[in-house]
Structure 1
């Protein structure tokens, strides 16, 4: 695996780590330079709008976390060395366990991301959040139920 692919993969994994530790501000900051597509909005969101949605929708427990584990898998990374950009498709599975919910998958889908390298540093430039393929019991994860794609 190339050094560029490692940096890009680490951004995917850092996102999951931030979300699972309840660091929503830090997770949103990863998308500071990105356009974000969600199903319920025609226009792209920026990282501050995404953070507001997360803060309104994601339930954080007294421990400060959403009691989730985002598993990012199967990243398919296409790097364009000339333009210092990359396109990545990956899968995710979100597991959750709470005091009333046994450990179980609650959501699974795909991320479609784009990255750019600026001054030697890789960063997100685009994320499409509209590929939610399977939905489980989200009652312990979301403060308001409804279509989880309506971010």
Structure 2
């Protein structure tokens, strides 16, 4: 089994991470779930939230508000990506920061949440690079009342 080119791996992984932001902002929960078909999602303390596409899609369906245009009216921004590759280059972990902005006609554009993603990825010949795990660690909370269907402090 040959090692994987780190530069190409980095681009592929970045594309997965940025595709997540594009799909969640587009209200495409099935598309988000497809990214996590071989992955599990963890909460801030490492608790399992869901695993596989069906469970991940259900998480977003029950937690995220959508508006008339079918989107959550958000913009997810992912920055400060820090990569660590296994010696053979076929698995990687990436720590990054996220910032979510939201704006509605009656809700001025503002930052509603920031935090960290701790992601793990794997490479296989069949699917290329894919998520194996995402841990979301919120850091700063703004007004999430227009974004989530529940109070993050009590969920």
TM-score normalized with structure 2 length:
0.88
Residue of structure 2 in register with 1:65 after alignment? 71
Q: How does 1:26-105 map to 2 (within 5 A)?
A: 26-39=31-44, 42-43=47-48, 45-47=50-52, 48-82=54-88, 84-105=90-111
User: Deviation per CA, 1:53-112, whole angstroms, max 9, x where unpaired?
Assistant: 211111100001000000000100112251500010000000000111111000000000
- 1: distance between equivalents of 2:44 and 2:68? 30
Question: Aligned pair count?
Answer: 148
- 1:29 deviation in Å? 1.1
Q: Which residue of 2 aligns with 1:6?
A: 11
Query: Are 2:44 and 2:138, in contact at CA under 8 Å, matched by a contact in 1?
Result: no
Unaligned runs of at least 5 residues, structure 1: none
Change (3 A) 1:140 1:33: same
Query: For 2:138, what is the secondary structure of its paired residue?
Result: strand
Whole-Å separation in 1 of the counterparts to 2:82 and 2:47: 27
CA RMSD of aligned residues (A): 1.9
- How has the CA–CA distance of structure 1 residues 111 and 40 changed in structure 2, closer, same or farther, with 3 Å as cutoff? closer
Shift in Å at residue 144 of structure 1?
2.4
Q: 2:24 aligns with which of 12, 19, 27?
A: 19
For residue 35 of structure 1, report the CA deviation from its aligned partner: 2.0
Distance 1:113 1:43 in 2: 14
**Gapped regions of structure 2 (runs ≥ 5):** 1-5
1:111 aligns to 2:124 (yes or no) = no
